[in-house]
Chain A
Amino acid sequence: MIAGRFRVDPAKRLPLFDQPSGMAYLASDQKNASEAVFGLVCRPEMQPRRDAVIKLSRLRLAGLLAPRAIGTLHWAPDDAEREIVIFPQLQGKRLAERPDGRFEPFSETRLSREVLPPLVSTLKELGALYVTHRAIRADNLFFCGADGQDVVLGECVSALPGLFQPVACETIESGQALPSGRGAGRRTDDVYALGALLVTLLCGGPPLPDLDDDELVLRKITRGSCAALVDSRRFSSAVMELLRGLLCDDPKERWSLDEVQLWLAGRRMSPRQVLLPPRAQRAITISGRRREMDREVAQALSRSWAEGVELAVSGELDGWVRRGLGDEERGKRIAGYRAISTGNPLEPDLLLTRALAILDPGGPMRFKGLALRLDGLPGALAQDYDNEDRRKLLAEILASRLPAHWIELQSSGGAEVIAYKKLYEALNGHLGHPGFGFGIERCLYEANPGLACRSPGLARFRVCQIDELLPALERLAAGQGGGGTQEFVDRHVAAFCAARAKDLGSEIYKGLDQPDDLASRRMAVLKLLAEVQKLTGPASLPNLTRAMALLLEPVIQGFHNRPYREELIAEVEATAAKGSLSQLVEALDDPKIQRGDQLGFEQAQVLHRELTQEIDLLEAGALTDPAHVRRTASQVTAVLSALAAVLVFVATAALEVFSF
């Protein structure tokens, strides 16, 4: 049951509401049976926007497929837990089945009367909640109502922002970035996507279907987005004015939603001139193609990283900027960075990163062929964590403080940028620590507050919050049936706890870094889980406690005294039945008893050695040795003789006395 009221039926598919992020199934609302709802079962690798769901679930908006609830449910077909988002069912149809699907082109009139007003209104509502949609595209648009005239924007919460957006619908800087690294963006990104959607609707499909993503980005850079997307099509001057405003490549100049509403109300503004970046007097050749504009060169070099590094290190790049582009100031800045060599092996790559940030200040952070927007790094880390090469690259980005270098080169800042700078500095600190509770895993959970724990042991579960951890481990332990060897806490679980339960402090993770000392390591695992139980409950975890008790066999074996071990086993079994991990810690981790056991053992060793020495002596005949026997016998003889002599003396004396 999701949110205590929604049931999802795995047997009843609703393909109409499928998304790239998951499949839709019929759901029912137990509190309001009249409302038709469906559940979107997210694919395990998706990162639903939980924060956006919380905000949007309060919203009842006709123009948006807003979520009702999100929750985790055991999904029988996969025999694993899945995150499921509940939405109301729409009575209508999707405009296009696929991102490249074609449909009947919309007329300008229909666009301005039927489509644009509800979309603008919806985006304004979203803006009021500080939520960006970031999934405005033709295949996420529904037409509902009896006559199919009610436009409803599809859902935007089941995946990372912008993850499935075609490059045509993304701004230049967002299109340059990795899909998972586009970030939540700003309202201006949604306005741009709205403009691109309008072009798509007017064209009856993707405006430039024959271009691949790189070519499309370069086309947008060299011509401007509006000109690139509209291409040679002819629209009315009013629509062109709207499109120029919405697809303006400078976010500051891009129309606001209020301006769009003014346009809808019939107010016409003077058309904005598209200001393209200047072209160089002399082109620079990259990968065999001549490039003339700064952003174009930045984009081309980011795709040909090795060549870019060569050009940057050799000074050819800053030479071209000074002489070819005629920009002395930016050329000097690049040359300045080239002159500073710190001996860092990443220096050539960092030089190119800085050079590209200087050439394309609004563009994404670029590093070794990877491009990310400042707010996109957490999403990229979450989405691409299982891709080892990309994970290493992202770790390098954090380790080399690339975001800080990139921010330094930006002309505009703001509270959001400062917040991200602080976050990435903190992640850099975590990354530099190799122990449990730190490393790239800690960065993953710190950067993504709603991310499910990626521990392989918890693969069947979706543990997103700290209070979900122990119930999942309890179920895992119950599944083992008391015979498992699951250790419960690996680097992921430790990092998850460190990120989600900061009250625990960092000392508690130190004991986990003892791969050779199984007893100490498992004791540390128990202490960590006990602390989590104190923090979040539940009060009783009988299966987990029993499983931990079994795993703690090496700790019990660590006690030397056998009778105490027996007592301890009985005590542990009794404690395990109660399900309290803290009591298990108390039973096993009493320093006084440990010291007493060690002291007693050392004394027993000394006594054992003395006994063995005496046994060896006796067995070697120390007492029955003839010389020893003779010596003792003569002593005994002397003593007996002395006694007899005394008796005789006394008797003689007595006789003499009585004879008188």
Chain B
Amino acid sequence: MKDLQSKSQWLFVMVAVAAITMVSGSATIWTSAEAQEGGGLPEGFTKGNLAALPSAEMVEAGKRVYFTKCVWCHGVDGAGDGPAADRLWPRPRNFNQGTFKIRHTASGELPLFDAKKPIPGQNDLFETVTHGLPGSAMPSWEGILTEEQRLQVLSFVTSQLVKDRKFDDKETETQTVLQLDGIKPIPPTEESIKKGSELVVDKKCIECHGVNGRGDGNAFNLKDDWGFPIQPADWHKCWNFRGSRQDPYEVKNIFRTFSTGVNGTPMPSFADNTTIEERWHIANFVQSLCERDVNGEPLPIDPLTDKPKVNFVIRSGPVEGDISDDPENEMWTKRERRIVLFGGQITHKPRNFVNRIDDVWVKSLYNDKEIVFLFQWDDRSKSVATEKLPFEPTEVNLDQYGIKEQASKTGEPGSIAAQQNQYTVYNDAFAFQFPVKWQELPAPIKPRFLWGDQKYPVDIVKWDANGTIKAYAGTGWDQDFEDRDDFTEKLKVLKQEWKDGRWTLMVSRPLKGDYDEDTKFEMGKYIPTVFFAWDGHNGDIGRKMAVSAFYYTIQEPPIPKETYIYPTLIAIGVVVLEGWVLTRRANKKKGKTL
């Protein structure tokens, strides 16, 4: 059904493209012929004309939109220095230089903007405002501002806040436009993807994006035009691609970004040194890396959040005998995985406004003695503290050691964006918590998500990248952890490995511990679970971390006998009924004919 749907949609697009080409056919052919004769233009691009400036009324109306919605991040003069700016990374766009990331125009050129033409593919800035920039704080304004209002505010921004360049200056500005709709895509066949995987090595993409495309290459030396540290995209999380236009699995968007480059960043345009065919192979390869479900289908994306849809139940599957410590073992590869999303811990000081770990994939298996969790999450750097920390691992109130949250008003030099990659490096770490004595909690009460409370303590298991794993008791967000040495002895790290921008961690814990201190698992019961992650290179330590919502861990019960017995009885009943109907009909007919 799904397949059919996408195929038929594709067909529809093809028909539409064909129709458009038929209508505007002569013009298109003429321009591309000219492009070939003219030479100098990269393949797939044609010369475009600068759009007329928007009317003064549009600009004036746009000012009103700007000072209601945009000024808070982008600032009074559009210099990307609004009140929110210092706590954001990436920082809000500074409009003054006219540098815009997502475009159909050649590298270095202004983006497409025409206040009279809100047409997808022909109006880059309009599309950016409409769809937002996923993975950043720029939201989608569709449904909030009308089409007219979006064009108005862009009229204001392009004519008043872009100060160093003029959108209609024929002397200095050119428009070389990628004709994305006129270029026939190459289907993402195995062959094309394989060619792409070779090309990303050839074209040195992996120098920044990493051998496996997790953005872990040259991750700590990259800066944008304004000198702020910047990180290469993680190809496995296409929903965070800024240019995804809320359609993350669409390969065209990757083709576009790759062809035009990302202005203001170290990401160049590859239009000059790749053929169109090569670009499709690379785009197909990058798209093929994006996370998928067990059947290889794109993950369902929640349109409200632009992130994969979440299921809050982590199922642990039954295993007879020993549980393998190899994630490639069949018992693990066949196991369904669930995504757990992280936000920054922004409830108590020090708040973590930028969490570099934003999700983890979880699998779980159990046997009669232990329950094992397999966690895999992307982290661009392996971080292990080189010096002994001045505080005990159990301490959580670390203000006196200078673990502070980002001040709200620092000016650019002290903003979060400027601070990135300059933090003291601590251990990467991961933890999960279950309630102690959950059997006695009066439903729906749970211990608080942030390390429980005095009345309802929690069982915390925390792993550190230096290889230690420990069991703690948590009794509140501001209470130091208490060691549970007895239980620590029973915990095991079955595997820990950082490879090409991804941590793999496998942890085993007993199903049953001491009733009063450790969580005792029971078959088929929902155990409230919270996950925590620390990125050592982000300066994460103590309460400065990433945190999930409440999930549930449940031991999948083996399928009970009744599940086979009753359906079989029903099927037998149906057979008997069939026999009865047939006999009755036969008798009736006989009676009639006799």
Chain A bound to chain B:
no
